[in-house]
Amino acid sequence: MNVVFVVPYAMETTLRFARRTGELPGVRLGVISQEPGEVLMRELNGKMQAFERVDDALDPDQLQRAARNIASHFGGKVERLLGVLEQLQEPLAVVRERLKIRGMDLAEARNFRDKARMKDALRAGGVPCARHRLCRTQDEAFAFAREVLPLVAKPPDGAGARNTQRLDSRDQLAAWMQSFPPSAAQPLLLEEFVQGKEHSFDSVMLHGKLVWSSISEYTPGPLEVMENPWIQWCVVLPRRVDGDQYDPIRREGQRALEVLGMHTGLSHMEWFRRADGSIAISEVGARPPGAQFTTLLSFAHDLDFYRAWSELMVNETFAPPVRNWAVGAVFLRGQGGARVDKVHGVERVQKELGELVVQARIPRPGQPKSESYEGEGYVIVRHAETEVVRTALNRVLELIQVEMA
């Protein structure tokens, strides 16, 4: 199987997916990257058998030329073209169509990448989601604000809550549009701010059928974390997620994926449960989840989900695992300053919770401040009982403080 993996930059998570792909029996791995080939060969433990460097890994024309060169090197057709970054999904789909490579096509990729198009498709399919409007003028934005407040402003092709802001009034909307004026070329997506408990729904579709799913809880949601630098974000994967209370998201989550065109893949969906028990789907990514979620899934199921994703995308096989553990993560964020100065409380956590901690990345002095809500580090804990995990996460929040300078 000739597989080409696009690795724009030598990012740890992307490399781990690519490494697992190269380890699959019978796979010849070609890599396209903006990084030098010697860097990728070292990082991929020698699993890379062909390489092409490009100036812009998001440019489908450059990707197409590179993929053809790798196919020539292999002496055969490229049979899989893969990548895990959100921004890559449309360029990959373009090249798949041009080179007739099996996988998600452009129309399907746009359904997931263009958030306004996604919402239109979901609402047309009767899937519950937030009200929205794609605004090309300020008048259109103010008209929507007369109908819906509070609301959320975001770019149509956004990812990871970047450039996303809650707006509670017309005055706040006007101020926002001073910095991000809507236009035909760069419209502004406005959505109803759904009030409720935020979760994720990670799932595997295989040949158009939902074969596995996982539910996570956010405390609080990423948008609130982005707006409040002092908040440490937590994620919990409860051990039991097969109860009746999750029937609505399992049902609507599957319908959403069918409407958007997911055929085979691991997807990450964010959704809300309102106070009245109803749900609303926020958005869906047609790629593995970020923010250490794949690692959390691995610990919860005693399964290497990085390899499981590779087998799913290359061989189109997936054996649904059993959830053996509750798992949670605290994302450590420093306040103020540009670099990590000191980290307090690590020894106390080791002493009190050592047996529960299965992985941690403690911020290092001198480390630059992260631009993401994931912060400068994290601690992952695991136990058979969900409440033990929740208590441990709260204790990590109390004990570890990241001091910036």
Condensed to tens digits (0 to 9), the pLDDT of residues 22-34 reads: 999 999 999 999 9
Summarised one tens digit per residue, pLDDT across range 284-332 is 999 999 889 999 999 999 999 999 999 999 999 999 999 999 999 999 9
pLDDT on residue 219: 85
Cβ-contact 3, 80 below 8 angstroms:
yes
Task: Report pLDDT for 194.
Answer: 87
Mean pLDDT of 86-110: 97
For strands 357-361 and 377-383, give the pairing: antiparallel
What is the average per-residue pLDDT within 121-132? 94
> Residue 72 pLDDT > 90, yes or no?
yes
Q: What percent of the chain has pLDDT over 90?
A: 83
pLDDT band for position 97 (cuts 50, 70, 90): very high
Tokens (6 digits) for 236? 């919990």
Is pLDDT at 162 greater than 60 in this prediction? no
> Has residue 195 got a pLDDT over 90?
no
pLDDT for 228:
64
To 5 degrees, how large is the angle CA 264–CA 265–CA 270?
Answer: 125
Give the contacts of 243 (CB within 8 A, at least 6 positions apart). Answer: none
- pLDDT (tens digit, 9 = 90+) per residue, 316-372? 999 999 999 999 999 998 888 899 999 999 999 999 999 999 999 999 999 999 888
Residues 62 and 33: beta-carbon distance below 8 Å:
no
Using a cut of 0.85, tell me whether the model's pTM lies above it.
yes
Q: What is the pLDDT of residues 31-69, one digit of tens each?
A: 999 999 999 999 998 999 999 999 999 999 999 999 999
The DSSP bridge partners found for residue 342 are 403
Mean pLDDT of 178-200: 90
Per-residue pLDDT tens for 230-289?
A: 678 899 999 999 889 999 999 999 999 999 999 999 999 999 999 899 999 999 999 999
Q: Rounded CA gap, 329 and 86, in Å? A: 22
Q: What are phi and psi of 216, to 5 degrees?
A: -125, 155
Over residues 2-28, mean pLDDT: 96
> What mean pLDDT is reported for the chain?
93
pLDDT, mean of residues 77-92: 97
Structure tokens at 390: 């929740």
Provide the pLDDT for residue 157. 62
Given pLDDT bands bounded at 50, 70 and 90, which one contains residue 165? confident
* Token pair of 338 as six digits: 């540009």
Task: Single out the residue of 147, 107, 260, 253 nearest to residue 132, CA to CA.
Answer: 147
Please give the residue that has the higher pLDDT: either 223 or 171: 171
Q: Which of 318, 283, 285 is nearest to 89 (CA)?
A: 285
